[in-house]
A and B are shown apart, each in its own frame.
Chain A
Amino acid sequence: MTEELKAYLNKLMGTVEGLHAIAVTDRDGVVIVKVAGQMAPDTALRPPFLSVFGVMTEQAGKMGMGTNKRIINFYDRYQTIQVNYHPLLLHFIADTNANTGLILELENELEDVLKDISKVVGMM
């Protein structure tokens, strides 16, 4: 069944040009499920990178503007769109020229998946 989930994530990944990877992790950056293309930067899919968003979103929520939901970073070659979907973190790694709006829209497509995975984290 996990294979079907990964197939679905791969399918979604293919709908946005330049999207290289989708990863779902817990708050500490431990990967629960991920799919990545050949162009995906390996460093961006390791826990040391993924865990930073968990800390940042928590700290950014203390700015007096409510809970932080998403952080988007642009690098020379890549962009990362990271979504705080408590208790999960959702990470998209894409080409810097990829359509950010389309990637953000994928969060809606992933809602059912994220709800199912949330239960897994809740069991721990």
Chain B
Amino acid sequence: MGCCFSSDEDKDVGVQSANERTPLIPPPGDISQPSHGGRVGPNYTTPNGKKDDGQSEFTRIIRQTAINVIDVTSPESQNIEQGEMQDRATQYSNRLNMALSGKSRVYRPNLPLGVTSPQMTLSAAPVSMSDVQLITSVSEKLTSAAKEIKIQHKENLVVNFGGS
């Protein structure tokens, strides 16, 4: 009376004793009871294979975390003994000799970046003397102009903040 649908029955209520205090998720003690949809409640026991998967995943996360930790005091480098270092240096030297002896390669510096055809650059006509003189005179003028820049002091450099 006076309220829409006040006379209708609430057909959505699935549990007879359900009220506003009925938990949506059944308490842990009730997990063995099947719910209304015919589904079995949360199953906390997993097969052995799954358990192992979880364990290995956990180990993996721990290992990954250890790798990600920034540790500048890592003693990895100090683990190598002086003798081992010498041995390794000798081995490197021998192997380097072996690797390089089979080559007839001569190391040469690479061309500067952006130069794909050096013959074009080298065969181009040299810059004319007038251009060189122009560049020299302009740069000298610019240098003298830069030296003559003076600051004309007009206002106080330090002013009171908020002052009129």
Q: Using a CB–CB distance below 8 Å, which chain A residues touch chain B?
A: 1-2, 4-5, 8, 12, 15, 26, 28-33, 47, 51-52, 54-56, 58-59, 62-63, 108-109, 111-113, 116-117, 119-121, 123-124
Contact = CB atoms under 8 A, between A and B. Distances in A.
Which of B76, B109, B113 has the most chain A CB atoms closer than 10 A to its own CB?
B109
Interface in B95-117: 95-97, 99-101, 103, 105-107, 109-110, 113
Nearest to B87: A30
Question: Which of the four size classes fits the interface of chain B?
Answer: 20 to 34
A14 B107 CA distance: 15
Interface of B: 68-72, 74, 76-77, 80, 85, 88-89, 91-93, 95-97, 99-101, 103, 105-107, 109-110, 113
Contact of A62 (B68, B85, B91, B113): B68
B96 A109 contact: no
The 4 closest A-B pairs by CB, nearest first: A1-B100, A51-B77, A8-B107, A32-B92
A1 B100 CA distance: 6
Contact of B110 (A54, A59, A62, A109): A109
Which of B68, B72, B77, B113 has the most chain A CB atoms closer than 10 A to its own CB?
B77
